[in-house]
Structure formats: C-alpha cells, structure tokens
C-alpha cells in the first residue's frame, strides 16, 4: 500500500502496488491498513490485510520433515 486519500462520498482509498503496477483500491473494509502493509484485493476493495507472520509459518511448515 503506497498512499491513502479520500474520494467521492467520503470513502477511504489507497494507491496499492501490485508488483510493478499500481491501482486505486477502496479501504472501507480495512480501515486500519497502513502504508507499507500488504492487502488482499478483490474487485477494487481491500478485503484483508495479509498476515506476514502467518505466511512465514506456512512456508516454514515445509522445512520440517513429513510426519
């Protein structure tokens, strides 16, 4: 997430980077998202903040030997 701003109707928006491109995304459902956070975006809305710790844990699962 790059920067926050407001648009018509008082809705909070952000400029979000998707790799090498950027787009405007509505933050109404993730108002706590801060610049620098990763978000999951669907049809122009951020629907969740990405939990980076959880992502690391999922990948770490594979470092352990299979049960």
Q: Which distant-in-sequence residues (6+ apart) come within 8 Å of 14 by Cβ?
A: 1, 2, 3, 4, 5, 24, 25, 27, 33, 35, 39, 46
Q: Which position has the token pair 């648009």? A: 7
Residue closer to other proteins, measured from CB, 34 or 55: 55
* Nearest distance in Å: CB 65, other proteins: 10
Given the rule CB under 8 A, which residues bind other proteins?
8-11, 15, 17-23, 26, 28-31, 38, 40, 42-45, 47-48, 50-52, 54-55, 57-59, 61-62, 66
Q: Smallest distance, Å, CB 33 to other proteins?
A: 12
Alpha carbon 46 to chain centroid, angstroms: 6
């Amino acid at each position: 997430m790059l920067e926050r701003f407001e648009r018509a109707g008082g809705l909070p928006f952000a400029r979000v980077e998707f790799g090498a491109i950027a787009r405007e995304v509505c933050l109404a459902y993730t108002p706590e998202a801060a610049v620098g956070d990763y978000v999951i975006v669907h049809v122009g809305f951020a629907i969740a903040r990405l939990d980076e710790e959880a992502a690391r844990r999922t990948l770490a699962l594979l470092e352990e030997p299979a049960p």
